[in-house]
Amino acid sequence: FKNTVGMMIMCRSLFVLSSLAITNAFVTPLSHGKLAFAGVRNHASSSSTLKMSSDDTMRIGIFGGGVVGGGIVEILQKNAVAFENLTGKKIEVGKICVRDASKPRDFEIPPNCEVVTDYDAILNDDTLDVVVEVMGGTTDAKKIMYDAIKKGKSIVTANKALIAASLVEIEKLVEDTNAAGKDVEFRYEAAVCGGIPIIRSLQSDFPGDDITKLSGIINGCTNYMLTAMDQKAQSYDDALADASKLGYAEADPTLDVGGFDARSKLKILMRLAYGLDVEEEEISVRGITEVTKVDFEYAKMLGGTIKLIGCAQKVGDNKIAAYVSPTYVTNDDSLASVNGATNAIEIESSNLVSSTYIGQGAGRYPTANSCINDIVALAKGDKTQLPFNQKGDAKFVNDFDSVFFMRIGYRDALGITRQCGEICEKFGVSIHSILQNPVTNRDDAAFVIITEKVPVSSIKKAVAELESFDWCRGSIFAIPVLGEIYGSQ
């Protein structure tokens, strides 16, 4: 990659996992309410005697025996001796809680491990030191996590939605629990970008640095789709269909294509990078549903491409702005060549200048590997005093300056260029250039305006007024530009 100073980490791993198949990173949530499962257990693979936790053993209970849960068990089994040599402790899976204990699993149940369906079978087991939550959802998972913390069990989770929605509550609960004399750790490396070590890095690699901008491709499904639309000239619908077949898209892909999954991750990253707590709804979000093949045609003409980017940046003294949006990315930016379901994050900072992290953002083994790293860290006795870093006094603002790419559909009329110029001038939007491909279909006729760097608030006002003209067909597609274009940034 060009213009990238710092480190590039292809994937996080304590041990190299070869030939990793990328699969759906989400597992089916357990049904609500533990009472329906009370008392039901499967002892087919268990011993009648439970081994008590000791100084030389760390016992874990896993909620969720699906894609990620199975990957965790497999990695622990495969590397048991190595992990014991590394940490000085045996790491044992004591219990796995699933919805249906009779369902065949695609992994081997460890010796002396119980498969249970009652949440309390893990929560009330004092021999279990760590609870690993990979069941997903924000209802049952929240109660399980909170109850486990109160009982003094450390947490390892991949649940970004729950963390984003309840970060402040979780932080307070861990603080209060430890103040009462317990020793609870909250670990969530797998919650953001699957196999990329971005959480640990933000916790440990930037304490003396000043992060000015954080931007990245943080949703694998949408990056796969946009890559297909760019490189294969696929339509949005065809790209989504392929993503669904490959398991990158859920049955209801709204969280992915609407940008909401990326927004949850961005909120967590903002707290770690800037000490800023912000409600998710305050972060501007625009998904990829409006992106068309025409946009990629103009992007190629300009020498770039379009990616769904989550971005947070300093915009003034103690002010932070953020957005999730399709973004024009110049080809000399490292994010431009991140394709398929891969994730990547760029961090610009005073000391390290530019650091890029790239790797698999989802899948059985990449996500499980991040959970394993947290489990091994706990076995080693690593401590994270502040799991979400120190809270700061930065303020969130809903305005930022950028160059903008504006695709405008139109019907034949006189004076279109003049009216665009007048409206842009009215709201202080300086036009850098106007591009128009030959019209082959009048129903799809569109041109693109590239602006100079202007506030997004000014762009919104100009767009609203331009859309009121009869010649303007449909909504104007206005997106930020990441990187330098024609030397305008």
Place of tokens 């790293």: 373
Tell me the HSE value of 316 on the side-chain side, using a 13 A CA sphere: 10
Q: How many CB atoms lie within 10 A of CB 391?
A: 14
Bridge partners, 61 (sequence order): 95, 131
Q: Is 51 a catalytic residue?
A: no
446: which residues sit within 8 A by CB, 6+ positions away? Answer: 294, 407, 408, 409, 410
CA dist., res. 388 & res. 93, Å (int): 27
Distance CA 329, CA 307 (A): 7
Active-site annotation holder among 265, 267, 307, 314: 265
Rg, C-alpha atoms of the chain:
24
Catalytic annotation, residues? 265
